[in-house]
Amino acid sequence: MEFFSEEIRITIQIILIDLVLSADNAVIIGMAASQFDPAIRKKVLIIGTGFAVVFRILFSAMTAYLMQFQGIRTVGGILLLWVSYKLYVDILKKKEETKDISKYQVKESERSNFRKAVMTVIIILMVTLANAISIYIKKYKWIGWLGLLSILWVAADLIWDDIKLLL
């Protein structure tokens, strides 16, 4: 008897992978926004974050749907093994340079209202959290290893589920 139903297990796996891989989004959005003029930087950060959230939700929903089909899980598991390898190489690689992304923080708006304030706080928290995660992963390698093991566990589970159906 299984503790979780198939749907709950798949949802947990998708959420786990999203958590492990989502810190990159904030860093990439911040780096891209830094290339723009400070006058439009806030708009770029808001639009970039909005698109990141929308696409994450859409791709998670599509992934949950596709996970129902035999063979897709094996392909997904193999792709996750590739992601795990890339993460493994990244963990082992010593990077001297830690990016200072504090310059990506959004300046206070002249006409602030509640919605703008909430978006500003969300963006600042995303960028700050991504920076903190990257610093902690470099300082405490076990965090990176934990993320790597989580992805490997999901990949092995996906491949094993498809193999069980064939046996």
| HEC profile of 69-123 | CCCHHHHHHHHHHHHHHHHHHHHHCCCCCCCCCHHHCCCCCCCCCHHHHHHHHHH
Mean pLDDT score of the chain, rounded to an integer? 71
**Percent of the chain scoring above 90 in pLDDT:** 0
Higher-confidence residue of 113 and 41: namely 41
Higher pLDDT, 33 or 118: 33
Give the list of residues 6+ apart from residue 163 with CB closer than 8 angstroms, or none: 74
Instruction: Read off the pTM.
Output: 0.47
Q: What is the pLDDT of residue 96?
A: 45
Percent of the chain with pLDDT over 70: 59
